């Protein structure tokens, strides 16, 4: 799990500044590129996602795809065939998918679709990546999204996930 305040540490890095500048510039230059990770995320979390992109590069040397940065011509608020086509191409060009779980996940219209598409094509390379604030409770409420339990948490085995879920259940009823 990664807390928001840990992401703020990357703001001073060169990688973050470069990624953030690309996001702000919203360049429309076409390219053919491969990625280690497709970051499946809510567009409401874009500030944290840009930091996460930099974090993954600096900490793990992993290149992550973020649609708002790498394909700024896409409009996540509009679902259309061109957006879907581009996202499919980027998922095919990515080795893994990290489903960035936050309090905004259930609001996303694209996240379930991206997860389903990637699972259908590369089902062994999906991880749930919880991004939380100081309250851990929000990430373990999978009501309506129980399918997320099918996938492992980033950097943790199933026992860790089960223990956290049990802790959440006990805390909920205490």
Sorted by sequence, the CB contacts under 8 Å of residue 91 that are 6+ apart come out as 38, 97, 114, 117, 118, 121, 122
Burial of 5 (0-12, 13-18, 19+ CB in 10 A): exposed
pLDDT of residue 122: 79
* Listed residue (52, 84, 62) closest to 71, CA to CA: 84
- Tell me the pLDDT tens digit for each residue of 86-142: 999 999 999 999 999 888 888 888 999 999 999 999 767 999 888 776 655 545 556
Q: Cβ distance 79 to 110 under 8 Å? A: yes
pTM: 0.72
pLDDT of residue 28: 47
Token digits of residue 127: 């991880």
Strand 94-101 with 35-40, pairing: parallel
pLDDT of residue 133: 66
- Tell me the pLDDT tens digit for each residue of 37-62: 999 999 999 999 999 999 999 988 99
Q: Cβ distance 49 to 16 under 8 Å? A: no
Phi and psi angles of residue 166, each rounded to the nearest 5 degrees, phi first: -65, -45
pLDDT of residue 171: 65
């Amino acid at each position: 799990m990664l807390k928001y305040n840990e992401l703020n540490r990357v703001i001073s890095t060169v990688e973050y500044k470069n990624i953030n500048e690309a996001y702000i510039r919203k360049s429309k230059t076409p390219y053919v590129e491969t990625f280690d990770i497709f970051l499946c995320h809510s567009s409401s979390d874009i500030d944290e996602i840009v930091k996460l992109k930099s974090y993954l590069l600096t900490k793990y040397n992993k290149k992550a795809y973020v649609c708002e940065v790498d394909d700024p011509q896409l409009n996540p608020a509009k679902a259309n065939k061109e957006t879907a086509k581009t996202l499919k191409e980027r998922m095919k060009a990515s080795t893994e998918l990290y489903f960035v779980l936050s309090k905004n996940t259930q609001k996303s219209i694209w996240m379930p679709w991206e997860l389903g598409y990637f699972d259908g094509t590369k089902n062994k390379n999906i991880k749930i990546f919880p991004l939380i604030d100081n309250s851990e409770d929000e990430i373990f409420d999978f009501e309506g999204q129980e399918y997320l339990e099918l996938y492992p948490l980033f950097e943790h085995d199933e026992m860790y996930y089960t223990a956290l879920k049990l802790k959440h259940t006990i805390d909920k009823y205490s």
